[in-house]
Structure 1
Amino acid sequence: MTRICVIAAPLIARSGVYNSTVELVRAARRAGLDWSAVLGVSTKAGGASIAEDGIREFSREPSGLTGVRRLSRDLARLPEVSGADLLISMVPQTDMALSLGAKPWVAYLRGLPWPAATEAGAVKTVAWRTLELLALRRAQEVWATTPTLARDVGSVVDRLVPPGLVPPTTPLGAPSNGTGDVVWAARFSRDKNPALFLDALRGTDVHGVMYGSGPLEAEVRAAVPPNVRVGGWRSRDEVWSSARVYVGTSTREAFGRSAVEAAMLGIPVVMSRAFGCAEMLYTDATLAHHLVLDPVDVSAWTSAITRLTVDEEFYRDVSSHVRENAQRLTVESAVDNVRSAAADVLIA
């Protein structure tokens, strides 16, 4: 049986990549596959660490390029890594670390693996992109989750391997008849664009809640209008328990895990065009026109969000549409996709 180890280190939050890695490996192990996960997580990350068979979690702080060689050495000492037939990297620093070793590995890109132009200075962006591309060229293959991400990264991507996730628990007493929160849930950082959510809701009667943590949290808290509150980090069941609408404002989002979670529950999604999952969730051109938006057009965001809080027929149509499409993005399908791609890599 093929032994696969999925690695993500370092991680600054127990959110997107962390959850995707855990869910993928758990689903594979339930299917009888010999997969494991290795997660290096910052001590500042919210939530509790995981201790269970097949999943190893250790403390690892972000340390830039200087920490890559140390990470490579530390990973090589772990039995899950040394005993695997194939390693799957989930984050750029792991790509670089594995590129220094001799084990066969693939890079499974979950997002743009270098800073966008608006997120770092030109020198840092060029340096990081150059080093990451060097690392990716040493991988057996490079996988991307969505066509959007593959286009952004370029010709180094060898194949698409669609992701999936475990559906969240259906909220008890799901909001209806105009009640419930308009929810923003992400890291408080520039690329998640929390200011757009504040601008879209400012001056409206819509009640908004922002969940998460990150470097811009204090700035966001100081800028919230009276109809928006900041709820801090919460489990996903807590996030969705009172949600009527999910709003994703990111300027880059290779997949969009929270958007898919919301859609699985029939919670309508208003999102930016940067979301890789947008074309998967909105297959109706008219709905996509109204709900997949340009981040600079604040008035369009306000209109879309407001309509979903007052127009029940529109709400039901959108809810049904996204829920049906999201059912194709389960973690079981993701295991099949990864297993098939891994088999091809090992045969080559």
Structure 2
Amino acid sequence: MKVTFVAAPLTARSGVYRSGRELVAAGREQGHEWSLVLGVSQHAHGSAPVDDPEWIHEFAAEPSGPAGIIALRRTLLGIRSIVDADIVVSLIPQTDMVLALTRKRWVAFVRGLPWPAAGESSAVKRLIWKTLEAAAFRRAEEVWATTTILRADMGHGSSTKIVPAGIASVARAWDGSGNRDTAVWAARFHTDKNPALFLAALRGQDFAGRMHGVGSLEQVVRADAPTNVDVAGWTSPDALWQDAFAYVGTSHREAFGRSALEAAMAGVPVVISDSFGVADMLVTDDDFLQRFVLPNGDLDRWRQALADLHDDESLRRRYSEHLVANAQMLTIEASAAAVAERLRAIT
């Protein structure tokens, strides 16, 4: 069975860009005839690998809202791997809307809330996107979500299937021992990622913070950052955790939480909001859950969690062991196997 995974347009070479490549590569390693199509903005940092295999087709695609759907449809239907596919798996909402206008068999693999959350855009824009996406879902063979939290946020029931996400295994780089002095935040500088909470949690602490990412709020964050926080911008994934004693995930909503999982695999303790879909899979000990999976509105608990991890080596070591053990069950290989099983059920 020929399956093509599609994500277009993307504004960054992170998140879905990386996980899509990893998922399809893992599926091919398992013997599946899978391909990947990526449409990426010319303004995205980085570039496609020069040695991309033939099963990846990457092209330039710019976000253009609902008006761009028809033009994107023409482009996608001109790509051979999509034309030849027995079924197409969409990885982002705009691709859902395009595929809903074709005769292809397709699945919506939802990896983040597919419309703006309340307060993130005007009520009119939110209604338009939610209406368009709901209409697209009705044309799909199936709708998948990566976590139960995401499915609940979408307002969907059991007809939306849970197909867990995963990431390529990251080598453990730390066991919590020794002294490190940097808490790391890595996400888009955007309202839903809540960078202001990180700044508030670091202000006045006797350790440093570092923020990695790009986005519309970057200049605001730079202006508001206390002296112990370095707004370092985008960096490569292998450089994120080099001197980190903790990863801090402050999002108001996070359907999965790739950075949290990467940090956990590397042995870096995580302090994350209770909106992370991956939270209850990574943190399964009640004490750790109470101390390090936190509501966004309780600043004192965020500050205390970071101070405790910075100051207590024994705590760091125990929490690191717990996270590494749980993270090993959330690999991209396991996700690819779950995707293949679901595809067999509908074809």
**What TM-score do the two structures reach when normalised by structure 1?**
0.96
Residues 1:273 and 2:289 aligned together: no
Tell me the equivalent position of 1:135. Answer: 136
SS of the aligned residue for 2:248 comes to strand
Contact kept? 2:192, 2:252, Cα under 8 Å: yes
Letter in 1 for 2:130: R
Runs of 4+ in 1 over 4 A off after TM superposition: none
SS of the aligned residue for 1:232 comes to coil
Task: Please list every run of 5 or more consecutive structure 2 residues that lacks an aligned counterpart in the other structure.
Answer: none
After TM superposition, give the deviation of residue 65 of structure 1 in Å. 0.4
- Distance (Å, rounded) in 2 between the aligned partners of 1:336 and 1:130: 32
Tell me the equivalent position of 2:163. Answer: 161
- Distance (Å, rounded) in 2 between the aligned partners of 1:31 and 1:146: 23
The one-character-per-residue Cα deviations of 1:225-258 (angstroms, maximum 9, x if unpaired) are 1111011111110112222210000001000000
Tell me the equivalent position of 2:196. Answer: 195
Contact kept? 1:86, 1:104, Cα under 8 Å: yes
Contact kept? 1:175, 1:243, Cα under 8 Å: no
Task: Please list every run of 5 or more consecutive structure 1 residues that lacks an aligned counterpart in the other structure.
Answer: none
Letter in 1 for 2:121: A
Tell me the equivalent position of 1:261. Answer: 262
Tell me the equivalent position of 1:88. Answer: 89
After TM superposition, give the deviation of residue 345 of structure 1 in Å. 1.4
Tell me the equivalent position of 2:16. Answer: 17
Tell me the equivalent position of 1:207. Answer: 208
After TM superposition, give the deviation of residue 175 of structure 1 in Å. 6.8
- Distance (Å, rounded) in 1 between the aligned partners of 2:178 and 2:27: 40
Contact kept? 2:171, 2:265, Cα under 8 Å: no
- Distance (Å, rounded) in 2 between the aligned partners of 1:139 and 1:331: 24
Contact kept? 2:176, 2:267, Cα under 8 Å: no
SS of the aligned residue for 2:232 comes to strand
The one-character-per-residue Cα deviations of 1:34-74 (angstroms, maximum 9, x if unpaired) are 10110011111112213322111111111000011111111
Letter in 1 for 2:187: A
Letter in 2 for 1:208: G
Q: Which moved more, 1:51-60 or 1:136-145?
A: 51-60
After TM superposition, give the deviation of residue 31 of structure 1 in Å. 2.3
The one-character-per-residue Cα deviations of 1:12-42 (angstroms, maximum 9, x if unpaired) are 1111111110000111122222101100111
Letter in 2 for 1:289: Q
Contact kept? 2:176, 2:320, Cα under 8 Å: no
Aligned residues between the structures: 344
After TM superposition, give the deviation of residue 174 of structure 1 in Å. 7.2
What is the aligned-residue identity percentage? Answer: 49
Tell me the equivalent position of 2:30. Answer: 31
Matches within 5 A, 1:39-188: 39-50=38-49, 51-155=52-156, 157-171=159-173, 176-188=177-189
SS of the aligned residue for 1:240 comes to coil
- Distance (Å, rounded) in 1 between the aligned partners of 2:341 and 2:105: 16
Contact kept? 2:175, 2:321, Cα under 8 Å: no
Tell me the equivalent position of 1:224. Answer: 225
Residues 1:345 and 2:343 aligned together: no
Letter in 2 for 1:217: E
- Distance (Å, rounded) in 2 between the aligned partners of 1:296 and 1:46: 32
- Distance (Å, rounded) in 2 between the aligned partners of 1:241 and 1:48: 23
- Distance (Å, rounded) in 2 between the aligned partners of 1:98 and 1:293: 38
